[in-house]
Amino acid sequence: MVHPKDAPDLHLTGPLSIHQGCCGPLGTGGRNMACPCGALVATLAADCMGPHELHLDPLRVYAYPADTTM
Residues that bind Zn ion (CB under 5 A): 22-23, 48
**Closer residue to Zn ion in complex, CB, 19/40:** 19
In order of 25, 31, 36, 66, 67, the CA distances from 16 in angstroms are: 7, 10, 19, 32, 36
**Closer residue to Zn ion in complex, CB, 41/44:** 44
Contact 46, 20 (CB under 8 A): no
CB of 12 to Zn ion, least distance (A): 16
CB of 14 to Zn ion, least distance (A): 17
